[in-house]
Amino acid sequence: MSFAARPGGAAFRSSRQHPLAGRTILQIIPELEAGGAERTSVDIAEGLAHVGARALVATEGGRLVGELQAKGGIWIPFPAKTKNPFSMALNVRKLARICVKEKVSLLHARSRAPAWVALGAAHSLELPFVTTYHGSYAGRSSIKVLYNSVMARGDAVIANSYYTGDLIRSLYPQATDRIRVIHRGTDFSMFSPAAVAPERVEALRKAWGVSPHERVVLLAARLTGWKGQKVLIEAAAKLRDAGLSDAAFILAGDPQGRDSYVKELDSLIEARSLKGIVRRVGHCTDMPAAFLAASVVTVPSTEPEAFGRSAVEAQAMGTPVVVSDLGAVPETVLSPPAVPPYERTGWRIAPGDADALADAIGEALSLGAMARAGLSSRARIHVEHNFSLERMVASTLDVYSALLEGRFARKAS
């Protein structure tokens, strides 16, 4: 993303005008490997650099460090991954020394263990402290709830969806006035049909073994039970039995060591006589091309998602989406009865309901050219307006500015 190519909005004023110009902001995260929290750290660092701030990221390292530095961020090697209580206590002093040396104005934590370290350093130096919930942290024991509570102790607590914000309020009502919902942003210069060369789509279809006449129904998610791969397999069997013969159901995702689950999927595919129709293709690195190659994208999760990135990206590519009406994903997809049918951007179905999933996929596949074009246009307008990278960066930088200018009351407990 090039911020210079997108003027307009509070985050993109010239560095002489922006209240963060000359300030030093430090984000802390365990490591900069691929992931939503890690990617957001780099995006925010780029936005900070663009307005003339110094963007530090304290982390152990990772594959995104080079990109961070190329986009104007500064890597501070730091043992942020440790969960050892003794090491974390030592890290509080270490981080505080870095903050003094670098003249840090504000600390922003994106994970629980380093958040405890950052909270200690922020309190000792009386610095503003921000946290972001990138997911809904599990834990019912009192010890786990206490451990997780650090993410609700920021002077500002950023939730990546309204669903996540409601979870925070239910567990930590004292944080209610400090919660700000900022949806994860998508780079729509990358997720745009015009940005994907036909050769990229053809290369993926070939790699997946998809014939020219076949339409792709895609589920792009790591292979784990709650992502709904089994529900899609059952829906594929129902559609096959109903006469659908030109669709390939693609499960794109890394098992991440879940070998037993992979065996369960393969056994279910064989039991439903879907070999060659449902295909596991492994991790996909070219998601814009994958979503463009698909005729329908499914997000049939059986447990709540904290956000709906795949649904947003697929809509940006103009591909019909079918999602579980669960967690935060419905925030990203417009569907009746919440909106009139002519405002639909996708389908929401009951989680775990293979019949409903099959019906929605069938309806999406049966769209005529004009109806599909209309839905695609509405979907892209919808996500561009609500889930852009620029909007996310501008909103986050405004939280920083508000804290530093005293426009955001600090009440951390």
The pLDDT tens digits for 240-252 are 999 999 999 999 9
Domain 3-185+388-405 has CATH 3.90.1300.10: no
Q: What residues have CB less than 8 Å from 282, skipping those under 6 apart? A: 252, 253, 254
Output the pLDDT for position 10.
Answer: 44
Query: pLDDT band at 5, cuts 50/70/90?
Result: very low
Q: In terms of CATH, what superfamily is 193-386?
A: Glycogen Phosphorylase B; (3.40.50.2000)
Q: Is the pLDDT of residue 137 over 80?
A: no
* pLDDT tens digits, 305-320: 888 899 999 999 999 9
Report in angstroms the alpha-carbon separations of 352 from 229, 301, 310, 356.
10, 8, 18, 9
CA distance 292 to 296: 9
Output the pLDDT for position 16.
Answer: 58
The model's pTM = 0.87
Output the pLDDT for position 69.
Answer: 98
Q: What are phi and psi of 404, to 5 degrees?
A: -75, -25
In the chain, the largest separation of any two C-alpha atoms, in whole Å, equals: 68
Output the pLDDT for position 110.
Answer: 96
Output the pLDDT for position 35.
Answer: 77
Query: pLDDT band at 411, cuts 50/70/90?
Result: low
Does the N-terminal peptide bond of residue 300 adopt cis geometry, omega within 30 degrees of 0?
no
Domain ranges (residues) in the chain: 3-185+388-405, 193-386
Closest CA to 232 of 294, 173, 187: 294
Average pLDDT, the chain: 93
- 114 compared with 14, residue with greater pLDDT: 114
Output the pLDDT for position 237.
Answer: 98
Query: pLDDT band at 142, cuts 50/70/90?
Result: confident
Output the pLDDT for position 145.
Answer: 85
Output the pLDDT for position 36.
Answer: 82
Q: Is the pLDDT of residue 7 over 80?
A: no
Query: pLDDT band at 233, cuts 50/70/90?
Result: very high
Q: Please state the rounded mean pLDDT for residues 223-239.
A: 97
Q: Please state the rounded mean pLDDT for residues 295-310.
A: 94
Report in angstroms the alpha-carbon separations of 146 from 38, 116, 177, 339.
24, 11, 20, 40
CA distance 295 to 321: 9
Output the pLDDT for position 412.
Answer: 45
Please state the separation of Cα 363 from the chain's center in Å. 27
Please count the other Cβ atoms lying within 10 Å of the Cβ belonging to residue 189: 13
Output the pLDDT for position 257.
Answer: 85
- 409 compared with 275, residue with greater pLDDT: 275
Burial 303-315 (b: 16+ CB within 10 A, else e): bbbbbbbbbbbbb
> What's the per-residue H, E or C state across the chain?
CCHHHCCCCHHHCCCCCCCCCCCEEEEECCCCCCCHHHHHHHHHHHHHHHCCCEEEEEECCCCCHHHHHHCCEEEEECCCCCCCHHHHHHHHHHHHHHHHHHCCCEEEECCHHHHHHHHHHHHHHCCCEEEEECCCCCCCCHHHHHHHHHHHCCCEEEECCHHHHHHHHHHCHHHHHHEEECCCCECCCCCCHHHCCHHHHHHHHHHHCCCCCCEEEEEECCCCHHHCHHHHHHHHHHHHHCCCCCEEEEEECCCCCCHHHHHHHHHHHHHCCCECCEEEEECCCCHHHHHHHEEEEEECCCCCCCCCHHHHHHHHCCCCEEEECCCCHHHHCCCCCCCCHHHCCCEEECCCCHHHHHHHHHHHHCCCHHHHHHHHHHHHHHHHHHCEHHHHHHHHHHHHHHHHHCCCCCCCC
Closest CA to 53 of 6, 17, 99, 98: 17
* pLDDT tens digits, 177-226: 999 999 999 999 999 999 999 999 999 999 999 999 999 999 999 999 99
Q: What are phi and psi of 408, to 5 degrees?
A: -130, 110
User: Any bridge partners for residue 186, and if so which?
Assistant: 388
Query: pLDDT band at 33, cuts 50/70/90?
Result: confident
Output the pLDDT for position 384.
Answer: 96
The answer to whether the CB of 392 falls within 8 A of the CB of 119 is no
Query: pLDDT band at 132, cuts 50/70/90?
Result: very high
CA distance 310 to 316: 10
Q: Is the pLDDT of residue 408 over 80?
A: no
Q: Is the pLDDT of residue 3 over 90?
A: no
Q: Is the pLDDT of residue 321 over 70?
A: yes
CA distance 197 to 177: 46
Report in angstroms the alpha-carbon separations of 10 from 20, 72, 107, 390, 398.
11, 19, 21, 10, 8
